[in-house]
Structure formats: structure tokens, C-alpha cells
Amino acid sequence: MVDVGMRFKLQQDIFGKRLPPERIRDLLVFELPRESSTLDAVLESFERTALPPCKNEASPRFLGFGDTGDDPAALAGGLLALFTQQNLINQSFDSPSATFVEIAVLRWLRDLLGYDNPPVADIRTVWDVGGVITHGGTTSNAAAMMLAREHKEPETMHGGVRNPGQFGVIVPRGIGHYSVKSSLTWIGVGDQAIEVDTRTFRYDLVELERAVRRHRGQIMAVIAYAGDSRTQTVEHLRRVHDVVRAIDPRIWLHVDACWGLVAAFSDQLRHLIDGISEFDSVTVDPHKVMAVPYSLSALLVREPSSLRAVSSYSDLIMQEDYAFGQVTPFIGTKGWLSLKLWMMMLSRGRAGLAALAEHRVNKARRFAALLDEHPRLLRLHEPDLAAVAFVYVPSDIRPEPPLPEQHIARINEVNQGIHERMLAEGTWYLHQFSLPDDHGRLRAGATLYPLRFMANNPRTTEAHMAQVIDYVTKLGGELEGDIR
């Protein structure tokens, strides 16, 4: 089984086989056979049918999302978590030591972000820890929104939402992650997002101040992104904090640092997240940036006891001091997700984490420099972390802003065509999404469909960067003739 996994990860290709979804459906969706099979036969069937179309994030040509989850210690931790089968819902009989490994990991993350940790001897309950491990950034953000709601109107957990209008949440327009807006609907306060204009992918602070004043009394939280989902631009956290607190100190301040956690590892990069420890809560996603396999996220809170506000009591979850099941909304049984991070962090140490962060950021800067040398490729932002978004500009368009609408439409069409062809061919992968032109590189405010390079893949070399640039340019050249 380990050999199958290793062969898969070490293959150069992203896909062993590229098939349309219906072909894969017809191959894999069948009735349960009556007869039993040997494990060998099941494994053989898996390798033949389900495995070849799988995406291999460890391919050096996969430049799509987060990292590849390939840290050897993290993989070992993931396997041992499967074998040991601990359940973090309770401590005494379900996870006698796993609970304390989880606590150690949460404290390491808190420390990196600059949150204070109490002395170990004072950790007497789960409410002294200041964080919880969850399955992903979406769950962590949803728990943060519950905290904000309880902070605004205590006991809403029990009494229900009475006046949804008081639970407004300020988010940056066009660059936020859907998980915050979706959470508001899941926790019953409705569509309460208040979008505020941005500049260079950060809040326009004048507009932010205006919005906080205008909606005074109706806002439960302000969300800031330390690395948004598109360009990974890191918000000026201290400035956002100061603007909001000066007007209304009771508003819950939440940072989504799913990507930005990486800046906490290095003395050279930490200035990017200056002010983060003044925020009430922070979401981090080690499965995006710490080379650990899916899935693993954490919600950390400045004031550990604040988690009491979203705790549940049940006679099924042990009412014991160290039962994490009491403080993890939406989650019952929970595997030992934190073991892979514990192993990864121990094996790398602080110096190794710093090296990982700096290597990625330097690689992103190098890719940005390659784009800047290229006459047909235009970079759309200054890279703070590992993401670099750019567009191919057809040869009949001079990229001098502001471009007319029809040029923007043509650039978008060609870049969407590039992405489509890339996806169909499966040799390289760059991500694509809609993005406001917040730096006005083509036309301020226009909606663009860029390609995005991510520098997180440790197997991607300088040669791969040059090759993907050639590939995009080749596809762009072919498509610009076709699309007129």
C-alpha cells in the first residue's frame, strides 16, 4: 500500500490518465458485488480504475493550490493516526495522550502568532488552551462567526436569533472567501455580510471607517485576510484593528490566516502579520501551508476562555476537563488530525519552518521576475506570499491602462481559453478565478480571469517555472489567432 502511494506521488505527471467525468463515472459507479474479494484484488482494482485519473499534487508541474502535503514526518503522523484510532472527542479513555499532543500543537501555533500561552501547569481544562483543531478553514471560520455572534448577543446559542440585523459582518469586496458568508447562513443570522471596497487587495481604510460608523451597533465582526484566497495579499492588520477599535471596541476582530500563517515562521516575514495577536480570533490552515496532508485547520482565540461561549454539554461527551468534544462546534468524533502536524513541526523545528517559508516566498518573487521580463505576460499584484496572478496579453493589445472594455473581454477570453486547454491536456496546472483589477494594471475595477502560479510545491524548480511560462505563451499564441 505504501509502495502504491509512493509510486503515485513520485510520478512526474499530474494525471496518470485524463478522462471525461462521465467515463470515470461509468467506470466507478457500479452495484456492490455479492461475492467478497481478497484485499489484493481490491487493491489491484483500485490501481487500475480509481488511481490513474487522480490528481497528483506532488507533480512538479502542479502549480495550483496549496502545498503537496508531502512532508515525510507529516505523512508518518497521518499513517500512525490511522493505525492508532484515537478519538479526540473525549480524553480519559478515548485519547489519553493524543489530547495533550493536540494541546502542544495548538500552543506552538499560538506562540508563532504571538498569542500568550499560560504556563503548562495552568492548563487544567480545554478552556485554558485557546484553540481547537478542526477539519478545515471553513469549519474554523464558522466557529469564529459563532463566537462573534455570542459575543454580540450572549446566549443566542440557547435562545435563538431574535434580531438578525445586529449581526452584520464586514468583509472586503470581491476577495473574501465564501466560508465566512456561508457560515452566517449556517449559524442562522442570514446574509449579513457588508462588503467594503478594497485597494490593492486590502481594505480601503477610509471606506472601512465609514462602514463601521454607518452600521454602528449592527456589526458583530470585521474579517481581515492575512493572505486572501486569490493573490494572498496580507492585510495591514494593525491598521484595520486600530480603525475598528477606535470606533467600537466590542466588535469581534477575526483574521483568516489560512495562507498567512506561513509569515509567522520567519523573522524576515513576520512583519507582514504585525498586529495579528491583537485580533480576537485567527483561523489557520496547516493543510494549505505546512506540507501536511489533508485535512487540518485550527481556530485560535486571543482569550482562551472565550471558547466557553460556544461549548456544548452532553452526557455522551464526557463532562471531563480535557474533553475537546465540548469546545468544537459542528464536530463530534474527531481523529488524531494533529499528530501529523506535531511530527512535522518537531522534525523541522523553528529553523526548518523559517526556511520553508522563506524558500516559498523567494520562489514566488523569482517567478514574478520571470513574468516581468516577458513581453506578453502581465503580473496583477505584488506577491506577499506564494501566489502570483498574471494574464497573457494578446500581441495586438498594448497593456497600457485604462484598456477599453472590448480589450478586457478579449484578454479574459484568451486566458480562459488557456486555462481550459491546460485542464484538458493535464500536463500543467495553474488555477483560475475571477479577480478585480485592484492595482489598475489593465483597468481599475475590471473583472479579470487570470492564471495563478503557486510557489508551494517543493519539487518545482527554476526550469519548471521557465517551462510553464513557455507553455502558457504557446497556448496564448495559438488561441489569440482563434479568438477575435
Ligand X SMILES: Cc1ncc(COP(=O)(O)O)c(C=O)c1O
Q: Could you list the residues that contact ligand X (CB under 6 A)?
A: 136-138, 141, 177, 179, 225, 228-229, 256, 258-259, 285, 297
**Number of Cβ within a 10 Å radius of residue 382:** 13
Answer whether 426's CB lies under 8 Å from 18's CB.
Answer: yes
Residue 75: CB minimum distance to ligand X, A: 19
Q: Is 203 helix (H, G, I), strand (E, B) or coil?
A: strand
DSSP string, 367-421: HHHHHHH-TTEEE-S--SSSEEEEEE--TT----SSPPHHHHHHHHHHHHHHHHH
449 vs 480: CA distance, rounded Å: 15
Residue 226: CB minimum distance to ligand X, A: 9
Our CB check for ligand X shows the closer of 252 and 392 to be 252
Residue 179: CB minimum distance to ligand X, A: 5
Residue 182: CB minimum distance to ligand X, A: 10
Q: Phi/psi of residue 56, each to 5°?
A: -105, 100
> Based on the number of CB atoms within 10 Å of its own CB, is 270 exposed (0-12), middle (13-18) or buried (19 or more)?
middle
Residue number with the shortest CB distance to ligand X? 137
Q: Phi/psi of residue 96, each to 5°?
A: -55, -40
Q: Phi/psi of residue 257, each to 5°?
A: -110, 35
Our CB check for ligand X shows the closer of 293 and 476 to be 293
Our CB check for ligand X shows the closer of 275 and 417 to be 275
C-alpha count within 13 angstroms, C-beta hemisphere, residue 442: 30
At 6, list the grid cell. 509512493
Our CB check for ligand X shows the closer of 276 and 403 to be 276
Our CB check for ligand X shows the closer of 180 and 475 to be 180
Our CB check for ligand X shows the closer of 86 and 138 to be 138
Residue 294: CB minimum distance to ligand X, A: 8
Residue 477: CB minimum distance to ligand X, A: 32
100 vs 112: CA distance, rounded Å: 18
Our CB check for ligand X shows the closer of 95 and 233 to be 233
- Length of the chain, in residues: 484
417's CB contacts (< 8 A; 6+ apart) are 475, 479, 482, 483
Residue 24: CB minimum distance to ligand X, A: 23
Answer whether 403's CB lies under 8 Å from 443's CB.
Answer: yes
Our CB check for ligand X shows the closer of 259 and 265 to be 259
Name beta bridge partners: 435: 448
Answer whether 206's CB lies under 8 Å from 213's CB.
Answer: no
Our CB check for ligand X shows the closer of 228 and 437 to be 228
Our CB check for ligand X shows the closer of 68 and 166 to be 68
Our CB check for ligand X shows the closer of 90 and 297 to be 297
Alpha carbon of 243 to those of 335, 372, 383: distances in Å?
40, 35, 25
Quickly tell me which residue has 483560475 as its cell: 432
Residue 41: CB minimum distance to ligand X, A: 35
Helices within 165-232 (DSSP H only): 178-186, 205-214
At 77, list the grid cell. 503522523
Q: Are strands 297-301 and 377-379 parallel, antiparallel or unpaired?
A: unpaired
Residue 259: CB minimum distance to ligand X, A: 6
Residue 260: CB minimum distance to ligand X, A: 9
Residue 288: CB minimum distance to ligand X, A: 7
